[in-house]
Amino acid sequence: MGMTDPVADMLTRIRNACLARHRRVDMPVSKLKAEIARLLRDNHYIQDFAVVDDGRHGLLRVFLKYHDGDEPVISELKRVSAPGLRRYVGVRQIPRVRNGLGMAILSTPRGLMSDRDARLAHVGGELLAVVW
């Protein structure tokens, strides 16, 4: 049986791995998860990610990032829009997470974007998650 919300599963795995101070975490791969990992890497929330061929469907391996080797860079990771309740925002309603210190991840008609990129491109979309 398939998962109802694979994005929430990804965010929960990353959150749990940060709390357990793991260096990396593996999860089933998808294009959406790889794009979320790319956004997290480009905005310096994770060190890197890799798509690993395991002989079946593949794995997404996320390498986590820590301050001074102890405190995780990601202190909060929340799913906003869920399959049961989608949350769409216009460009004026895009939230400023922690007054610009955090990041919102949006699914827009131009692909996945951070809140800053969506404001610059002047597009709204589905508010997937917030990170700080």
Residue-wise pLDDT tens digits, 1-57: 578 999 999 999 999 999 999 999 999 999 999 999 999 999 999 999 999 999 999
Instruction: Read off the CATH number of the domain in which 29 is found.
Output: 3.30.1370.30
Instruction: Read off the CATH number of the domain in which 99 is found.
Output: 3.30.1490.10
Question: 49 lies in a domain?
Answer: yes
CA 34, 35, 40, 41 torsion: positive or negative? positive
29 and 68 fall within a common domain = yes
List the Cα angle 109/92/122 in 5-degree steps: 40
Q: What is the pLDDT of residue 76?
A: 96
Q: Give the list of residues 6+ apart from residue 51 with CB closer than 8 angstroms, or none.
A: 29, 34, 58, 59, 60, 61
Residue of 3 and 66 predicted with greater confidence: 66
* Position 64 pLDDT exceeds 70: yes
List the Cα angle 2/10/84 in 5-degree steps: 60
Q: What is the pLDDT of residue 1?
A: 56
Q: What is the pLDDT of residue 6?
A: 97
Residue-wise pLDDT tens digits, 74-91: 999 999 999 999 999 999
Q: What is the pLDDT of residue 69?
A: 72
48 and 15 fall within a common domain = yes
Q: What is the pTM of this model?
A: 0.95
